Structure 1
Amino acid sequence: MSRWLKRALIGTGIGVGVVAIGVFIYAWYLYGSIKDTAKAVYEPIPSQEPYISKDPDVQPRGGDHVSNITDQHPFSVAILGVDQREHDVGRSDSIIVLAVNPVKNSILMFNIPRDTRTEIVGHGTVDKINHAYAFGGVEMSKQTIENFLDYPIDYYIKINMEGFAKLIDLMGGVEVQNPFSFDYGGRTFEKGPLKLNGNDTLLYSRMRYDDPRGDFGRNTRQRDVLVQVMKESLSFTNVMQVQTLLNQLGSSVKTNITFDEMKTFMADYRTELNHIDTVEVSGTGQTINGIWYYIVSDQEKTRIHQLMKDQMQQSTGGV
């Protein structure tokens, strides 16, 4: 072999090696950046004990996090949309529960109306369920939701309204099918398909007094928006997209989902979830001591509990 050819091959090998090392370092940098940002939104509930259901068929779970989230185990999530103001901890303006079962390729989704009258666990009172956040933050909210459903909640995601608007804008807006025209917050929302930016999405999902279905209509619009957000976010495959998303939402979102669990969801779960079932929590309005509440009967609570139980059923028979 000639001397110049040897030199060329050695030079090429060194060049490829340098490029490979550079790619590795860059990939590791991106990984580290995302990991650091994910840590910023991670907020565990250290004092939270696993919820023990009164239903003997439901296994205790829902402590700090799910220890066996691999192998496509089903899991539950409470999403708290928090309306925070200056010098005020705020209230959970919306409460949406997801029961995710990759084996069934489905998600069960429902709102718990914020005016629902229930025991506030750890506070010793019976009040509107959205007051649990004002009294005891995420921990009391989670415990109260679990008690109301008699079913454990594995994860929570807390997002304030400003952060939600940022998320919508990062995604380039959301498309919704508006069932009727209405005016709210200085904006007119025409009937039919709409493309909404972040601020308009907040207005669209908040209006309830002019909705013929009241809170039910409002809840339906919130779920429709969340479905679109979930579909868009699950389509993120680019590392930089994920990093940008987390960086923008770092101060607006808190969750007890770890970085490793995020990776598991992205790698093993998202392609399996192609069907979302939405249900309503039925009840009646009642004024007690001058305050309006949403009253959910024991029979309705049992129905929702059973829906959760059926959705979370594993192939082995455990829940």
Structure 2
Amino acid sequence: MSPLKKTVLILLGVLVALLVGATAIAGKTYFDVKNTANKVSKPVKGRPEGTNIKDGKPFSVLMLGIDTGEFGRSDVGRSDTLLVATVNPNEKKTTLLSVPRDTRTEIVGHGTVEKVAHAYAYGQEKMALDTVEKLLGIPLDHYVWINMEGFEDLVNAVGGVEVNNKFEFKQDGHTFPKGKNKLNGDQALAYTRMRYEDPNGDYGRQVRQQEVIAAIADQALTFNGVTKYKQILKAIEDNMKTDLEPEEMFKIAMDYRESFKTIDEETLHGNGEMIDGLSYQVIPDEELVRVQTLLKQQLAK
């Protein structure tokens, strides 16, 4: 694998899905990546500074897809997608948990019980971290978010992605036939937004989101030349933020790469309920205990 491909996979993997397989960074590419890493790095005030990555220990990341940027919106937005990754270098395994956006929970710092997706709208990264941390009963060391416009830009930057659609449906003016579909950025965004026609509702949408993320990472491996890697960095620079410092990103890429060879995908399952006229996913106690226990085991020293 060339240094260019490795570098693309480093930043794409760390900031999008933590699927890092790089082993070396060299030359101008290194400085381009570090420059982008500096621009997207944004610490969170009022949160403890984690040292797990620097110490080579297991760590966790809250990954958010923010709906600002969708259809020209410019407000703060809500977390339309929530994923929690726990990365364990000792077990050489990563667990990727999908949290339904409609999960009913306490919004920490806001004094309400409502949809978990609202936490980011009320208090951005800190409130989202505090809320999901309490819900899952584990420390969340870091966050990464991408807005919807950035998701579209990333797909276009890699030249489109291919997905294997389970059934035909329409969304936002696009028709997605059953079987293999080659998607551009606008199509990929629509493909991951649909949930009302899906028999599995929001859970089915989460599967499609994970499918597109994996397809973006796969496309990164096919890159030749400088043009596409610069487009990737531009998409990341304009549309992402994380509290990971550049040194931590590179340490993940160099020292944690074995942790991404095995990725277990999990979903927090709830029951659909109407409460005060709003639709929620209410998580049964036994399901919450199951997921909390699993994540705690993954973060064990």
The normalised TM-score by structure 1 is: 0.78
Q: In structure 2, do the counterparts of structure 1 residues 34 and 173 end up closer, same or farther at CA, with 3 Å as the change threshold?
A: same
2 CA distance for matches of 1:245 and 1:194? 22
Identical-residue share of aligned pairs (%): 43
1:34 is matched with which residue? 33
Secondary structure, counterpart of 2:190 in structure 1: helix
Highest RCO, 1 vs 2 (Cα 8 Å, sep ≥ 6): 2
Secondary structure, counterpart of 2:200 in structure 1: coil
Work out whether residues 72 and 103 of structure 1, in 8 Å CA contact, stay in contact via their aligned partners in 2. Answer: no
Work out whether residues 37 and 243 of structure 1, in 8 Å CA contact, stay in contact via their aligned partners in 2. Answer: no
Please tell me whether residue 310 in structure 1 is matched to residue 294 in structure 2: no
Please tell me whether residue 147 in structure 1 is matched to residue 134 in structure 2: yes
Please tell me whether residue 80 in structure 1 is matched to residue 64 in structure 2: yes
1:169 is matched with which residue? 156
1:60 is matched with which residue? none
More off after superposition, 152-161 vs 240-249: 240-249
Please tell me whether residue 208 in structure 1 is matched to residue 195 in structure 2: yes
Q: In structure 2, do the counterparts of structure 1 residues 87 and 274 end up closer, same or farther at CA, with 3 Å as the change threshold?
A: closer
1:101 is matched with which residue? 88
2:103 is matched with which residue? 116
The aligned amino acid for 2:53 is I
The aligned amino acid for 1:178 is N
1:135 is displaced (CA, Å) by 0.7
Q: How many residues align?
A: 273
1:39 is displaced (CA, Å) by 1.3
2:10 is matched with which residue? none
The aligned amino acid for 1:215 is D
Deviation digits for residues 44-65 of structure 1 (CA, Å, limit 9, x no counterpart): 10211xxxxxxxxxxxxxx33x
The aligned amino acid for 1:257 is L
1:312 is displaced (CA, Å) by 2.4
Work out whether residues 129 and 143 of structure 2, in 8 Å CA contact, stay in contact via their aligned partners in 1. Answer: yes
2:177 aligns with one of 186, 190, 195: 190
2 CA distance for matches of 1:249 and 1:138? 18
RMSD across aligned C-alpha pairs, in angstroms? 2.4
1:125 aligns with one of 112, 115, 120: 112
2 CA distance for matches of 1:237 and 1:157? 27
The normalised TM-score by structure 2 is: 0.83
Q: In structure 2, do the counterparts of structure 1 residues 106 and 213 end up closer, same or farther at CA, with 3 Å as the change threshold?
A: same
1:226 is displaced (CA, Å) by 2.2
Gaps spanning 5+ residues in structure 1: where? 1-26, 49-62
Work out whether residues 120 and 127 of structure 1, in 8 Å CA contact, stay in contact via their aligned partners in 2. Answer: yes
Q: In structure 2, do the counterparts of structure 1 residues 68 and 308 end up closer, same or farther at CA, with 3 Å as the change threshold?
A: closer
1 CA distance for matches of 2:232 and 2:199? 36
1:92 is matched with which residue? 79
Secondary structure, counterpart of 2:67 in structure 1: strand
Deviation digits for residues 80-133 of structure 1 (CA, Å, limit 9, x no counterpart): 100115452111111111112233332211211111110000001111100101
Please tell me whether residue 69 in structure 1 is matched to residue 53 in structure 2: yes
Gaps spanning 5+ residues in structure 2: where? 1-25
Work out whether residues 77 and 156 of structure 1, in 8 Å CA contact, stay in contact via their aligned partners in 2. Answer: yes
Work out whether residues 117 and 129 of structure 1, in 8 Å CA contact, stay in contact via their aligned partners in 2. Answer: yes
Work out whether residues 97 and 109 of structure 1, in 8 Å CA contact, stay in contact via their aligned partners in 2. Answer: yes
1 CA distance for matches of 2:154 and 2:267? 26
Deviation digits for residues 267-312 of structure 1 (CA, Å, limit 9, x no counterpart): 2223542222112211111111111111012221111111111222
1:240 is displaced (CA, Å) by 7.7
Largest Rg, 1 or 2: 1
1 CA distance for matches of 2:276 and 2:232? 45
Work out whether residues 158 and 228 of structure 2, in 8 Å CA contact, stay in contact via their aligned partners in 1. Answer: no
